[in-house]
């Protein structure tokens, strides 16, 4: 497997604070870089959950929540076309576009064991918490006849304890991410269940 360590922990230019991509610009980038519909959906789901968390749990204004959304929506943008350069390609692209450094660093924090960047801010910690769990919950929803309808926290916990289900999802990484925040696994699963179903209908 390629070494994805980014070899740095500082990203973007502080002078570019508050410079963001618009929703249309971000979706255009997503569509251009990510032909795979399933992967696009994953990124849209992480974006939706990040934005909801910023608004509901952090009480942030819409302009700040948009940054959380951007980090979520773009975090795997280079995964399909440049898996050996994940996530340095998207980071370089956003640095070239002079995007707010907090968004870029959050993307760099979505897998500390791979990219070598430790999450420090709440935004950075939450993308790490949501990334694997969001994908896991969607995989669990897909095998249910009613998908998200009637799906509860308990059934997700049960699936997590079944190593053969979605075996590629690293349970240790989920625990590591959770150990950095003051919310329980149950609370995070409940939050994802409530907020990501809204995005699941569109694809
Ligand atoms: Fe990733
Ligand atoms: Fe991801």
57 in a structural domain:
yes
Domain extent for 181: 14-197
Say which DSSP state 80 is in. T
Residue 1 lies in a domain: no
Q: Is residue 203 part of a domain?
A: no
Ligand nearest to the CA of 130: 2
Which CATH number does the domain housing residue 127 bear?
Answer: 1.10.3210
Give the side-chain half-sphere CA count within 13 A for 50. Answer: 32
User: What pLDDT score was predicted for residue 198?
Assistant: 82
* pLDDT in the model for residue 203: 44
pLDDT tier at 199, thresholds 50, 70, 90: confident
Residue 166 lies in a domain: yes
Average pLDDT score over the chain: 96
Domain count, the chain: 1
Q: Is the pLDDT of residue 202 over 50?
A: no
Is 60 within the bounds of a domain? yes
Question: 86 CA distance to ligand 1 centroid (A)?
Answer: 7
Q: Which residues contact 44 (CB under 8 A, 6 or more apart)?
A: 30, 73, 199, 202, 203
Residue 4 lies in a domain: no
Residue 136 belongs to a domain: yes
The ligand placed nearest to the CA atom of residue 80 is 1
DSSP readout, 42-62?
HHHHHHHHHHHHHHHTS---H
Q: Is residue 9 part of a domain?
A: no
pTM (2 d.p.): 0.96
Q: How far is the CA of 131 from the centre of ligand 2 (A)?
A: 5
């Amino acid at each position: 497997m390629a070494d994805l360590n980014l070899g740095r922990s500082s990203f973007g230019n502080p002078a570019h604070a508050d410079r963001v991509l618009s929703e249309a610009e971000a979706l255009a980038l997503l569509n251009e870089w990510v032909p795979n519909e399933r992967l696009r959906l994953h990124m849209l789901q992480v974006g939706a959950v990040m934005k909801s968390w910023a608004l509901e749990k952090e009480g942030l204004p819409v302009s700040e929540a948009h940054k959380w959304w951007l980090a979520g929506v773009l975090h795997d943008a280079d995964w399909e076309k440049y898996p050996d350069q994940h996530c340095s390609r998207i980071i370089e692209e956003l640095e070239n576009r002079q995007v707010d450094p907090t968004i870029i660093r959050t993307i760099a924090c979505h897998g500390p064991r791979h990219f070598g960047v430790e999450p420090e801010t709440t935004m950075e910690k939450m993308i790490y918490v949501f990334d694997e769990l969001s994908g896991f919950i969607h995989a669990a929803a897909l095998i249910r006849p009613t998908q998200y309808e009637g799906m509860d926290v308990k059934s997700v916990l049960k699936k997590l304890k079944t190593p053969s289900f979605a075996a590629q999802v690293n349970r240790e990484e989920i625990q590591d991410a959770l150990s950095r925040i003051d919310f329980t696994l149950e609370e995070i699963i409940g939050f994802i269940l409530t907020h990501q179903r809204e995005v699941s209908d569109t694809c």
